[in-house]
Amino acid sequence: MQKKWNIQQADESDVTILHKALKINEAICRILVQRDINNYEKSRSFFRPQLTDLHDPWLMKDMRKAVERILSAINNEEKILVFGDYDVDGTAAVACFYQFLKKIYRNISFYIPHRYREGYGVSKLGIDFAAENNFTLIISLDCGIKSTELIMYAKTLAIDFIVCDHHLPDSEIPPAVAILNAKQQDCNYPYKELCGCGVGFKLIQALSEELRLPAGSYLEYIDLVATAIAADIVPVTGENRVLAFYGLKKVNENPCMGLKALLHLAGMHKEVHINNLVFVVAPRINAAGRMDDARKAVQLFIEQDYNKALEYAEMLHHDNIDRKEADSNITDEALYIIEKNEILINRKTTVVYREHWHKGVVGIVASRLIENYYRPTVVLTKSGDMISGSARSVPGFNLYEAIHACREHLLGYGGHFAAAGLTLLEEQLLLFSEKFEEVVSATIPPELLVPQLNIDTQINFKDITQGFFSIIQQMEPYGPENMRPVFITKNVSESGYSKIVKEDHLRFVLRQGNTSISGIGFNMADKFSLLRMNAPLDIVYTIDMNEWNGEKSLQLKVLDIALSETR
């Protein structure tokens, strides 16, 4: 699929000033300026994150109320229920807070709603469970900010709520005793992009101070906080960067038994980077809720015995194998449906449905389909007497608004800019599909239907040295708003040694001037014909370290390539 290349711009006067201050490669200074790191002090904070950079937890609105209500519950020996969502952020948040509180108070339990019986977030079944078992305080993590009616219902049962959430509040706020959410308009907390586990972490930090626990004791679960930051795709800037940096340090030096077991089963025996948490750990944790019951993800995180943690890790590992099989089979079937239907191929949207598809993976399948047909996509399956499923967008297009415009054909829907869930009756499927196509076709700018490849800056092959790469490495942990730098080098030539490997991949050996460098392009075998033309090429890539037979060398991870005169 042809991509549009966008080379990012930077204020060159700021680049010059930063270059003079840091005395490092100007291309790296350009990347830093693009990321609003435009002076020496900001650079020092960026490259050398400090735990002292963490904000005062008491700056968060309602923090005092939350702490006082928890301490009151402890003093009165009330039963406390820690409630969290079934994804990585929710289960990690529950594991952190449950373990912290369990060390100082015994009358506590946790609850994870079942994805299919209860759905996302605070559930009536969960509140009824609390009432039946005499819990009088529920602490919700990574959910609750939109659960106004359910929290009102809990109040009628004499159950108080403390909500720790990071999702955008509605105009109506739930009647909780305390709401910790930096995105509230009247909350003065300086950093607004914490994940749900991060909000729970701030509550732990405040409680630690109030109870005068040993300094730094609140950092015990920072490896789980980093896992949640990685999995929830929140910006890796500011406070999140500090938490991710020190959380990864703990993952590599002294992880909790659950993470240790999971990494062992996944064959991760080298240094763990944030992308390993995203692509190795997170899918296994999420698979628990997608394929079965996410409660065992919390049990994995809180287990102190390594052998027992291995047992839980094996359950999640097998859930993930089942998830991958379902994901692959459904994706193949969905692609076949589209390819055999000329009307679907030529649309600006994809809506596909089969009643036997596993509802735990339809969101993943929607993302897979976008990789092949770059357009807003809905994947649906049978759910009882209804059809339900997930929708995913292309960057820049407001999917939620498009689905909202089709509400006459839906029983229910919810979500945000990039992703949504929906339910409808089977007789409304065709009408919804037609309306969705109509709405998207009328509102989506044509450029959003072409994949965008954002490039940080141009460099030459002679710039790619070990010292250059060492500074790039210090920009980790990567993530939204601090992605791995993407480079372009223009007018390179093929050396004659490039070849197709493993059918779909390209092994590049390229030359610019007197400098040659190798690289790998995954699923880029179709570009081999360009190399055989012996014409100047422009190449887009990231840089990483290749290790083979104990030897290390810098290599390019090629993202795209084109004839120079076409760009």
Asked if 427 and 410 touch (Cβ cutoff 8 Å), the reply is no
State the sign of the Cα–Cα–Cα–Cα dihedral 315, 356, 401, 118.
Answer: negative
User: Among 195, 184, 180, 179, which Cα is nearest to 237's?
Assistant: 195
State the sign of the Cα–Cα–Cα–Cα dihedral 504, 507, 511, 515.
Answer: positive
217: CB partners within 8 A, 6+ apart: 208
Residue 295 pLDDT exceeds 80: yes
Asked if 493 and 510 touch (Cβ cutoff 8 Å), the reply is yes
Choose the CATH number for 453-566 among 1.25.40.10, 2.60.34.10, 3.40.50.2300, 2.40.50.460: 2.40.50.460
**Is the CATH number 3.10.310.30 carried by domain 330-449?**
yes
Dump pLDDT digits (tens) for 453-491: 999 999 999 999 999 999 999 999 999 999 999 999 999
User: Among 434, 559, 433, 552, which Cα is nearest to 485's?
Assistant: 559
Beta strands in 323-384 (DSSP E): 350-353, 377-383
d(CA 180, CA 202): 9
d(CA 390, CA 394): 14
The pLDDT score that the predictor gives to residue 566 is 65
- How deeply is 381 buried, as exposed, middle or buried, from its count of CB atoms within 10 A (0-12, 13-18, 19+)? buried
Residues facing residue 180 across a β-bridge: 164
d(CA 441, CA 374): 13
The pLDDT score that the predictor gives to residue 115 is 85
- Residue 392: pLDDT band with limits 50, 70, 90: very high
HSE value, Cβ hemisphere, 13 Å, CA-based, for 163: 29
The secondary structure of the chain in percent helix, strand, coil, rounded to multiples of 5, reads: 45, 20, 35
- Residue 5: pLDDT band with limits 50, 70, 90: very high
State the fold for domain 57-316: inorganic pyrophosphatase (n-terminal core) (3.90.1640)
User: Among 484, 50, 481, 51, which Cα is nearest to 236's?
Assistant: 481
Within a 10 A sphere around the Cβ of 303, how many other Cβ atoms?
21
Q: What is the rounded average pLDDT of the residues 85-99?
A: 96
User: Among 193, 187, 188, 81, which Cα is nearest to 141's?
Assistant: 81
pTM of the entire predicted model: 0.92
Q: What is the rounded average pLDDT of the residues 229-247?
A: 96
Lookup result for tokens 């990789």:
371
Lookup result for tokens 């015995």:
305
pLDDT mean across residues, the chain: 94
d(CA 228, CA 224): 6
- Residue 371: pLDDT band with limits 50, 70, 90: very high
Length of the chain, please? 567
As annotated, the residues of the chain forming the CATH 2.40.50.460 domain(s) are 453-566
Dump pLDDT digits (tens) for 497-542: 888 888 789 999 999 999 999 999 998 988 888 888 889 999 999 9
In b/e form, how buried is each residue of 175-196, taking b as 16+ CB within 10 angstroms? Answer: ebbbbbbbbbeebebebebbbb
d(CA 21, CA 43): 10
d(CA 538, CA 561): 6
Q: Helix H segments across 421-460?
A: 429-443
Residue 567 pLDDT exceeds 70: no
d(CA 386, CA 429): 10
